[in-house]
Amino acid sequence: MQIHLSPRNIALTGAIHSFIAEKMTHLEEHGEQILAAHIVLLHDQNKKKPFVVKVHLAIPGPDVFCEDAESDLYVAIDKVIHKLSAQLSKRKTKLKDHKKHLTQLEREAARRGFRRR
């Protein structure tokens, strides 16, 4: 998986980079083939929650997007990763249920003597 970080008005340190890389490896445990991740880190002093993290995951099929704003950068990263994890789990469940449903329809059609195209 390629990780592309784009900091805006924030200095990208080695600690931030390694923290994000570690968290992104946890997303690969969902069984999805993540091709690339584009992560934008924003900092705006004038807002109540100055740190904004936006993530775009490129995966086969529709891409996954997520965004979160917090007062601490590491908390924002954690929340975005948690949201992405939930989205990937939901996507995996949907695909699994859809395949199960198609298999069930084929079995019923075979029992009744019909063939599904």
Residue 110 inside a domain? The answer is: no
Mean pLDDT of 10-20: 94
In this prediction the pTM is: 0.80
Answer yes or no: is 36 within a domain: yes
Q: 116 by DSSP, 3-state: which?
A: coil
How remote is the C-alpha of 47 from its chain's centroid?
A: 26
In a domain, 52, yes or no: yes
Residue 90 forms part of a structural domain:
no
CA 49, chain centre distance (Å): 22
Q: What's the CATH code of the domain at 34?
A: 3.30.160.100
Mean pLDDT of 33-45: 92
Please tell me the total count of domains within the chain.
Answer: 1
Mean pLDDT computed over 28-54: 89
Residue 35 covered by a domain: yes
Q: Taking residues 79-101, report their average pLDDT.
A: 86
What is the predicted pLDDT for the residue at 52?
A: 96
**What is the span of the domain harbouring residue 55?**
2-83
Q: Which of 14-28, 29-43, 88-102 has the lowest mean pLDDT?
A: 88-102
Mean pLDDT, rounded, of the chain: 89
